[in-house]
Amino acid sequence: MQYRTLGRTGVQVSSLALGAMNFGHIGSTTQAEATAIVDAALEAGVNVIDTADMYGDGESEEMVGKAIAGRRDDIVLATKAGMPIGTERNHRGSSRRWLVTALEASLRRLGVDHVDLYQIHRWDPNTSDEETLSALTDLQRAGKIRHFGSSTFPAHRIVQAQWAAREHQLSRYTTEQPSYSVLQRGIETHVLPVTQEYGLGVLVWSPLASGWLSGAIREGRDIATHRSALMPARFDTTLPSNRARLDAVERLAAIADEAGLTLIQLALGFVTAHPGVTSALIGPRTTDHLHAQLAAADTVLTADVLDAIDEIVVPGTDLAAHEKYDTPPALLDPSLRRR
C-alpha cells in the first residue's frame, strides 16, 4: 500500500480508501459482510473509511461503527452531511442549524466522539459560505471534528470558500471529494488545478465509473451488475454516451491485457497516478470485490500506458457529462442562460 499526506493536514492516508456506501440495503451487504470487508481492508493497509449520513438513512454509519469498534484510533474516519434526510425541509443543506444536529446524529451512529474528516456532501446554494464555515470551525474547536472538507463542489465554489475563510478568519476546507475515473476526466480541467493551487487533499469517488471499469461490462455480454439493476439508464448501450463508454472500455481492456494488468488495476492506477489525487475511494459490496480492487494498491502505470489512455479518453473529457454533479446549472437548464 502507498501512503500520501492528506493535503496540508499532516495526516498520512492510504492511496486506496474504503468507501462504505454499499454497506446495508443499498448494496445488500450484511453487518457480518461489512465487518469482514473492513477487517480485510485494514489488514491490507487501508487506513481511511469514508461514509455519509444519507447512505441507507444512517445504516452505513451504524455498520461502520460496529465494524471499527475497539480500533477507532487506527482509522482516519470520514463522513459527510448535507444531502436530504427524510422529508423535513430543514434536514438537509449546510446551515449551522442542520450541521450541528447532523454531526451529533452521525457520531451517535458511529459510536465515536469525533470524526477525522467531516465533509459537506454537495454545495448548498441556499447557505452562505460564512454560515457553513463558521459552524464547521466551531465544531472543530469543540473537538468533534479534526478537519473538514467539501464533496463534488464546482471549482469556482472551492475558490470562493477559500476566500470566505480568509476574509472571515475561519478554518478552511482542507479536502475535496470529486468524481474521477478514466471515463470521467472533467475535473482535470478546473477542479484539480484549483485543489492543487490551494493544497487540498483529494479523495476521488467512483474511480471504477459505477462498474464500467470493473471488467464485468464488456462487448457482447449482458450487463447484469448490481448498479445496472438500480440505474438501468446509465447502462443502456443504445444511448450514445453509454455506447462511447463501452467502446472506450474495450480499448482500455486491450491496453490492460498488454500491460499484464486487470482492468481494475488499470483504472485505479490511472486515478492514483495524478499528482493532484491523494486517495481513490473503493466501494466493494463483497470481500471478493475488495480483493480485486486491493490488487491495485501498488500499481504504477508507465508513461506509455498513460499516453495510450489519453488517446482513448482525451484529458479533461467526460464521456457522460450529464451525470456530473458539479456541472453549473445553466449548462443543464436553458432558462438560466437566457434573459
Say which of 3, 55, 173, 198 is annotated catalytic.
55
pLDDT for the residue numbered 137: 98
Strand-pairing partners, residue 117, are: 78, 147
> pLDDT tens digits, residue range 248-257?
999 999 999 9
**Separation CA 291–CA 279 (nearest Å):** 17
Mean pLDDT of 195-212: 97
pLDDT for the residue numbered 221: 84
State the Cα torsion 313-318-320-324 to the nearest 10°.
160
**Separation CA 321–CA 122 (nearest Å):** 17
> pLDDT tens digits, residue range 207-250?
999 999 999 988 888 777 877 777 888 888 889 999 999 999 99
C-alpha cell at 290: 475488495
Mean pLDDT of 262-267: 98
**Separation CA 270–CA 255 (nearest Å):** 12
Mean pLDDT of 192-196: 98
296 burial (CB, 10 Å; 0-12 / 13-18 / 19+) is buried
The pLDDT > 70 percentage for the chain reads 100
Residue 180 appears among annotated catalytic residues? no
Q: What's the Cα-to-Cα distance from 120 to each of 80, 176, 177, 204, rounded to whole Å? A: 6, 9, 9, 14
- Bridge pairing between strands 3-5 and 12-14: antiparallel
**Separation CA 39–CA 317 (nearest Å):** 37
The pLDDT mean for the chain works out to 95
**Separation CA 102–CA 84 (nearest Å):** 11
pLDDT for the residue numbered 58: 96
Place of cell 480499448: 251
Q: Inform me whether the pLDDT recorded for 332 exceeds 80.
A: no
Could you tell me which residue, 271 or 328, shows the higher pLDDT?
271
